[in-house]
Each structure stands twice: as structure tokens, then as C-alpha cells.
């Protein structure tokens, strides 16, 4: 028997999504044709409780999920939408389902809307369990990894809900990486097999082991060595363009300090002395620093060590040259803004930081910092907040940053391997702590041969 909600327009009207529901039109009829008769099993309170318990959801959070599920059961449009999402994610062979662009049904569910996609994700628990069983992933790793669902529910703001926390379409897309057996939490850090996204090429000295990164050809940088436009700032008068060239015997380009800024000086790397070790697109393990316990050097070392054992064992076909990360936590300004004992500063000291595009310049909401407009209305609670407030009050912007850690260097975590290496050239050491001065002169085609 047909239902009025077999039509996507009627269902979206009932779910109060209107035109925002157009993204669900693709495959809607096929999904509704596959819908089982009666109430959806995954909306049954007993089933939802079981799926929640199997996904490390706390009892308190479970009660909120059950309340949200009651809204879905009571609204035929929401119920049809929940089935559509479940079918597209877990009942079809479409691996390119654009879940990250799906809107939250805020009008129909109010404050509970941030849990709609959490219910959808939990509906795929049997599918997720089958994936992890097939891969042989230890129960402890599975439990720690799926616990990210509740972490996100409690810490991720949903734009459509005015900043209330919950699961947006974008966060659903992220959590699906765990449900599909790709993203794993190993101790403090999460890891994802990926491709290197940095716009640079790294080289290792064949004798000393020193590592140097050269900016990818065509990269545009401000005078401060950051990507032009990063943090919402452009430098139309002082920006310069990096050039990277390869000849028979050498590479020539603009180096990047391991502290996170590009230099306009051109250097030449002899192929006899320097071997390429990392380039855009190379296989890598992406690091994600999720909310949770302090990001101590000891905890990070333990996580890196576990990753070096875990992926070769459970994913022997997955090669990786090292680790990378792009995050606001890698803002290269932090060593200047925060104390040397800050965990963020100490993390940066263990990796090769590089500039990257991104960041709107705003104070990171993740640390509970106040916006510039409300800066004077409440006192900051932490040293980090005070430092960030002072930086913003002085007109400073905030940046995203990137980093890499080569696989051969990972066992040396704790030794500041890239900062403690012999300075490949004299002016690196001389100007390492003065990023503004690095870009004070125009780019030169000169530079010494590194050998």
C-alpha cells in the first residue's frame, strides 16, 4: 500500500524541511519501496537502547536519544526521512551518499534535532559490528572508537540549532568513518588512513637524517610566511609566490621552517645528499585530536606507538609514510601566545609544522573563548583563554596549521626531532624565532646548496 510520504515533497513538508529537503530527492522512491511494513525497528526503544549500549552511549545520553526518537516516531515525515537516511547509508551500495550536506530537521524537532542523525547512525550498529568483526578489530579499540559518537553529541555545535550541541550532517559524515571501519581511536588520538594534504615536499639528508620541507610550486604566501588569505588576511603588496623546480642534480625551492612558516629564500638541495620522503598525495595516517583528556606528550607518544603496531597488523595492505594533521590546534602562533609547558606547544615541538590555507581568523570556539564583541562581558577561565583574548584584543587573527611526522621519526617522539636537528643552513637557526623578519625581503632565486 502506498503512503503519502512515498513522495519526497510531502515528507519534507511534514518534516518541516521544505526546500531544504531537496537534497533527499535522489533515491527517495527506491528507499521508500524498500521500507519494511510497520514501525521502523531501529526506532523501537528497546532496540535503540541496545544499539546505544553497543556504541558506548551513556545512560543519561540514552534518555535524550529516546526522547528524540519519540519525535521521529510521531511524525510520519521524520520517520520516512530516518528510513531514507538509514537505507542510503547502510542498505545500499552507494558509497558516495552526501551525508555531510544533509540538513538538520530543526523546525520539526526543536532542541532534539541534534540527535536525529545520532539515531540514524545507531541504526547502522549491526552493519558496523559486521565490519569490525570481519576486520578482527579488538573489542577495546572498537569501544574506544565508537565512543566518539557521544563526545560529538556533547561538544559539536550545530549551526542550524543556534550553537546547541549535537550531530550535524557534517559530523555524521565524520562519524561514518568509524562505522565503516576506517577511523580508530588508539588511546588519546584518532587515526585515519588518508593521503597527504600538505602543499609541500619533504626531503631527508642521506647522512645526517635532517628533514627539510620545500613549499609546493605556486604557493602564495604573505610576508609573515603564512598562506595568503589564511585567517581571513591577504597581503596584496607583500605576498610572494613559491617556486619549486627539479633539475638533473638538484631540487630548488622555498623552505618551510618546522615551526610553521614559509621563507622566501631559495635553497638548492643536491640529489646526491637529499632524498625525497613525502609529497602531496602520498599515503599517510591522518591524526585527529578529539575532545577529551589532556593532550599530554606521554599520551600522544603512547597513541603514536599503538598506531605503528595497529595498522600494519589489521591493515597490512595500507602503506603509510608517516602521520599528518590539519587543525586549529596547530596554529603556528601558539608557541608565542602560550606557555612552553602548554600541551599544544609541546605537541607542535614534536612534529614538523607547516602553513596551510583555512581559518577565518576568529577565536576558536572549541576552548570556550569569547568573541571579540563580548570580550569584556566575562572573565576568561583559563590561561589559554586569557592569552587568546589578549591576542584578539590586539587585533590578532587565528590560523589553521598543518603538521607531519615521518614514520621513521615517530619512535623519537619526545626528542623534538625536527627542531633539534642540525640547522640545515645558518639563517634558519638565526631567524627561527622571528617569523615576521623571515619575509621582510623579496624572494630570491639564490641560496646555498645544502649538502
pLDDT value at residue 158: 87
| pLDDT, position 423 | 67
Residue 96 pLDDT: 73
Identify the pLDDT of residue 439.
Answer: 33
Return the pLDDT at 419: 92
Helix (H) or strand (E) holding 49, with range, is helix 45-53
Residue 420 burial class via C-beta count within 10 angstroms: exposed 0-12, middle 13-18, buried 19 and up: exposed
Say what the pTM is: 0.89
* pLDDT tens by residue, 169-191: 999 999 999 999 999 999 999 99
Angle at 252 between CA 251 and CA 257, to 5 degrees: 105
* Cβ burial, residue 371 (10 Å; 0-12/13-18/19+): exposed
8-38 as b/e, with b when 16 or more CB fall inside 10 Å? beebbebbbbeebbeebeeebeebbeebeee
Nearest to 269 by CA among 253, 285, 281: 253
6 is written with which cell numbers? Answer: 512515498
pLDDT of residue 445: 36
For every one of its 451 residues, what pLDDT tens digit does the chain have, with 9 covering 90 and above?
A: 456 677 889 989 988 998 899 999 999 999 999 999 989 999 999 999 999 999 999 999 999 999 999 999 999 999 999 999 999 999 877 667 789 999 999 999 999 999 999 999 999 999 999 999 999 999 999 999 999 999 999 988 888 888 789 999 999 999 999 999 999 999 999 999 999 999 999 999 999 999 999 999 999 999 999 999 998 999 999 999 999 999 999 999 999 999 999 999 889 999 999 999 999 999 999 999 988 888 999 999 999 999 999 999 999 999 999 999 999 999 999 999 999 999 999 999 999 999 999 877 777 766 653 333 333 445 556 888 888 888 888 888 889 999 999 999 999 999 999 999 876 655 554 444 444 433 333 333 344 444 4
Rounded Cα–Cα distance for residues 378 and 178 (Å): 38
**Cα dihedral sign for 310, 316, 321, 324?**
negative
Torsion sign across C-alpha atoms 137, 142, 144, 149? positive
Burial level of 237, CB count in 10 A (0-12/13-18/19+)?
exposed
Delimit the domains of the chain by residue range.
4-182, 184-361+397-451
CA pair distance 3, 69, nearest whole angstrom:
21
Amino acid at each position: 500500500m502506498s503512503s503519502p510520504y512515498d513522495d519526497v515533497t510531502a515528507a519534507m513538508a511534514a518534516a518541516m524541511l521544505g526546500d531544504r529537503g531537496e537534497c533527499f530527492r535522489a533515491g527517495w522512491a527506491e528507499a521508500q519501496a524498500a521500507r519494511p511494513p510497520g514501525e521502523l525497528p531501529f526506532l523501537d526503544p528497546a532496540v535503540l537502547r541496545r544499539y546505544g549500549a553497543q556504541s558506548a552511549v551513556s545512560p543519561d545520553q540514552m534518555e535524550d536519544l529516546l526522547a528524540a526518537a519519540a519525535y521521529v516516531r510521531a511524525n510520519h515525515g521524520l520517520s520516512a526521512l530516518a528510513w531514507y537516511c538509514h537505507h542510503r547509508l547502510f542498505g545500499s551500495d552507494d558509497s558516495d551518499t552526501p551525508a555531510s550536506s544533509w540538513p538538520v530537521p530543526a523546525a520539526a524537532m526543536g532542541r532534539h534535532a541534534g540527535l536525529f542523525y545520532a539515531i540514524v547512525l545507531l541504526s547502522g550498529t549491526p552493519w558496523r559490528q559486521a565490519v569490525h568483526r570481519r576486520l578482527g578489530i579488538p573489542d577495546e579499540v572498537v569501544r574506544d572508537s565508537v565512543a566518539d559518537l557521544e563526545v560529538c553529541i556533547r561538544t559539536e555545535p550545530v549551526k542550524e540549532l543556534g550553537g546547541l550541541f549535537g550531530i550535524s550532517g557534517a559530523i555524521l559524515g565524520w562519524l561514518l568513518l568509524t562505522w565503516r571501519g576506517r577511523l580508530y581511536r588508539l588511546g588519546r588520538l584518532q587515526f585515519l588512513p588518508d593521503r597527504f594534504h600538505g602543499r609541500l615536499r619533504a626531503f631527508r639528508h642521506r647522512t645526517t637524517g635532517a628533514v627539510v620541507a620545500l613549499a609546493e610550486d605556486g604557493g602564495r604566501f604573505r610576508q609573515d610566511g603564512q598562506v595568503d588569505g589564511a585567517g581571513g588576511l591577504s597581503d596584496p603588496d607583500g605576498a610572494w609566490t613559491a617556486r619549486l623546480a627539479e633539475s638533473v642534480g638538484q631540487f630548488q625551492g622555498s623552505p618551510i621552517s618546522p615551526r610553521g612558516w614559509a621563507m622566501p629564500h631559495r635553497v638548492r638541495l643536491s640529489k646526491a645528499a637529499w632524498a625525497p620522503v613525502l609529497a602531496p598525495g602520498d599515503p599517510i595516517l591522518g591524526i585527529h585530536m578529539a575532545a577529551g583528556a589532556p593532550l599530554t606528550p606521554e599520551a600522544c607518544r603512547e597513541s603514536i606507538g599503538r598506531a605503528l603496531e595497529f595498522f600494519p597488523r589489521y591493515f597490512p595492505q595500507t602503506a603509510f609514510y608517516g602521520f599528518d594533521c590539519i587543525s586549529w590546534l596547530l596554529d603556528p602562533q601558539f608557541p608565542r601566545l602560550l606557555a612552553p609547558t602548554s600541551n599544544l606547544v609541546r605537541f607542535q615541538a614534536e612534529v614538523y609544522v607547516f602553513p596551510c590555507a583555512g581559518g577565518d581568523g576568529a577565536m576558536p570556539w572549541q576552548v570556550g573563548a569569547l568573541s571579540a564583541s563580548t570580550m569584556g562581558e566575562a572573565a576568561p577561565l583559563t590561561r589559554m583563554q586569557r592569552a587568546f583574548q589578549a591576542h584578539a584584543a590586539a587585533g590578532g587573527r587565528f590560523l589553521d596549521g598543518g603538521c607531519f611526522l615521518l614514520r621513521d621519526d615517530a619512535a623519537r617522539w619526545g626528542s623534538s626531532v625536527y627542531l633539534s636537528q642540525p640547522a640545515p643552513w645558518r639563517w634558519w637557526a638565526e631567524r627561527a624565532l622571528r617569523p615576521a623578519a623571515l619575509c621582510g625581503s623579496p624572494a630570491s632565486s639564490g641560496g646555498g646548496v645544502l649538502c
